[in-house]
Amino acid sequence: MARCTFLGLGVMGAPMAGWLQRKGHDVTVWNRTISRAQTWCDDHGGKTAVTPDAAITEAQFIFMCLGDDPDVRKVFDAFEPGLREGVIVVDHTTASPELARELYERCAAKGAAFIDAPVSGGQAGAQNGQVTIMAGGDQPAFDKAAPIMDAYAKQMTLIGEAGAGQLAKCVNQICIAGIVEGLAEGLHFAKRAGLDEAKVIEAISKGAAQSWQMENRWETMTRGHYEHGFAIDWMRKDLRIALEHARKSGARLPVAALVDQFYADVQGMGGNRWDTSSLLARYETPGAAANDA
């Protein structure tokens, strides 16, 4: 059993923290909306704290799952004075590699360790304890944290030094953007060609076109059901991080940049909280894709 603090109880953080408690760890939680933390405790047990610094008092492991760089920095600033030697801080937020490197150094100055550990698998993966973790940091710290993260992970890989986990998450989101756009175009083409989408998917889903997105999203896409999964607002944040780093490194991401603009179009349709598969809605809304080839 480990003494764990979990900071941030959103759609990913709440179930991941729940798995820690379920697996027998001693969990203290904090959330910006205090009532959500109390509800979590009512559902799972554990303890709640009213501030991040109060939450980490006895922690061996501090987990964060927040929104963006400013959120992570604000929370870290709040508990940094109380950070003790030997504590391992694990950030599951998808944030910038630059911030990961900064927090790694700040933890090291306290004799603590930092691991950037963004996750993939979406809300369903978190709820089922089946997220994939791509991590950056030092091997000894990762080896200590891995058995704890095993409570909610199906796969964990230490990619490299601090920041490498966040860069790997960029790769993940770049790939997803292209796959979802391809699926949206394919379904749009099938519908306009008068084909039975279900039969088309049955025919192609066991071949080279197969993907997780196809298996799990094609049907909801054809129904126009987008109130689930990973919101466009968050996907655009992730693509922003990837595109910013690409400009610094000289990487060329023409498809990711284009899909990011397509997501901006869907936001303009009011789809900020729609799932990333809602790219199809752009093709089915008059005028939304008027400038496409």
Q: Model confidence over 237-254: pLDDT tens digits?
A: 999 999 999 999 999 999
- Indicate if 10 and 149 belong to the same structural domain: yes
What is residue 190's predicted lDDT score, i.e. its pLDDT?
Answer: 98
Structure pTM? Answer: 0.94
- Indicate if 19 and 134 belong to the same structural domain: yes
The answer as to whether 128 is a domain residue is yes
The answer as to whether 293 is a domain residue is no
Structural domain containing residue 244: 167-284
* Residue from 143, 153, 158, 157 nearest 23 by CA: 153
Work out the average pLDDT over 199-203: 97
The answer as to whether 290 is a domain residue is no
User: What DSSP line would sit under 68-122, residue for residue?
Assistant: SHHHHHHHHHHHGGG--TT-EEEE-S---HHHHHHHHHHHHHTT-EEEE--EESH
Which CATH number fits the domain that encloses residue 55? 3.40.50.720
What are the phi and psi torsion angles at 275 (to 5°)? -65, 155
- Indicate if 177 and 97 belong to the same structural domain: no
The answer as to whether 291 is a domain residue is no
- Indicate if 152 and 176 belong to the same structural domain: no
* Residue from 61, 69, 79, 72 nearest 20 by CA: 61
What size, in residues, is the chain?
Answer: 293
Residues that are catalytic: 169
- Indicate if 154 and 191 belong to the same structural domain: no
* Tokens coding 48: 């709640």
What is residue 293's predicted lDDT score, i.e. its pLDDT?
Answer: 65
The answer as to whether 292 is a domain residue is no
What is residue 290's predicted lDDT score, i.e. its pLDDT?
Answer: 65
Give dist(CA 178, CA 175) in Å, integer: 5
Number of domains in the chain: 2
- Indicate if 188 and 145 belong to the same structural domain: no
What is residue 228's predicted lDDT score, i.e. its pLDDT?
Answer: 84
pLDDT band at 289 (very low <50, low <70, confident <90, very high): confident
What is residue 285's predicted lDDT score, i.e. its pLDDT?
Answer: 84
Give dist(CA 243, CA 247) in Å, integer: 6
- Indicate if 185 and 201 belong to the same structural domain: yes
The answer as to whether 289 is a domain residue is no
* Tokens coding 197: 């989408």
Round to the nearest angstrom and report the end-to-end CA distance of the chain.
Answer: 58
Which CATH number fits the domain that encloses residue 240? 1.10.1040.10
Q: Report the half-sphere exposure of 259 (CA within 13 A, side-chain side).
A: 31
